[in-house]
């Protein structure tokens, strides 16, 4: 999984280097992303074409991480592809942010400016994005009990 996620991050960096340039020194930061109720967390170092994503246990030692963001997986995905309102999610306490908030803010601004889609994040052609958005919406409705599996 780490290899695929790192390859995806680096692919986005090659296609949209300006988004990573906006990060400045935050490119070297390690940001831990912790989806609620999953047995894994992700440590992302958004260093452009040299960036990486590691899969770690959520409760593992976070020494060396600059910041941590946690919340429901679908909320986090929506924030990364620009569908979600990061400010609203934070103030409504759907996500938690700890550590270097400047790093989180820089990442947020870079993601917002890059106009990524879920297809971009998964290194798929953008034509796949409508189907991915539909699938995520169905999963979200299922998680809220509105749709039966």
Q: What is the pLDDT of residue 146?
A: 57
- The phi-psi region of residue 104 (left if phi > 0; otherwise alpha if psi is between -120 and 50; otherwise beta) is alpha
Instruction: Give the pLDDT confidence score for residue 1 in this predicted structure.
Output: 85
Integer angstrom CA distances of residue 13 from 43, 51, 57, 61: 17, 8, 26, 28
Q: Which residues of the chain have pLDDT under 70?
A: 82, 118-123, 129, 132-133, 136-149
pLDDT tens-digit map of 23-56:
888 899 999 999 998 899 999 999 989 999 999 9
What are φ and ψ of residue 147, in 5° steps? -130, 140
Answer for the pair 16, 114: CB distance below 8 angstroms, yes or no.
Answer: yes
**Res 56: pLDDT:** 95
Task: Write down the pLDDT at residue 149.
Answer: 55
Predicted pLDDT of residue 37: 85
């Amino acid at each position: 999984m780490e290899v695929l996620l790192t390859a995806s991050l680096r692919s986005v960096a090659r296609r949209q280097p300006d988004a990573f340039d906006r990060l400045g020194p935050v490119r070297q930061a390690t940001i831990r992303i912790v989806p609620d109720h999953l047995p894994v967390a992700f440590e992302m170092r958004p260093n452009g074409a040299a960036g990486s994503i590691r899969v770690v246990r959520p409760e593992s030692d976070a020494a060396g991480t600059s910041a941590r963001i946690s919340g429901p997986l679908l909320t986090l995905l929506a924030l990364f592809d620009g569908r979600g309102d990061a400010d609203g999610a934070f103030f409504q306490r759907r996500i938690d942010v700890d550590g270097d908030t400047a790093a989180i803010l820089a990442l947020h601004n870079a993601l917002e400016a890059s106009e990524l889609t879920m297809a971009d994040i998964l290194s798929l052609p953008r034509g796949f994005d409508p189907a991915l958005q539909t699938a995520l919406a169905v999963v979200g409705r299922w998680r809220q009990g509105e749709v039966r599996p």
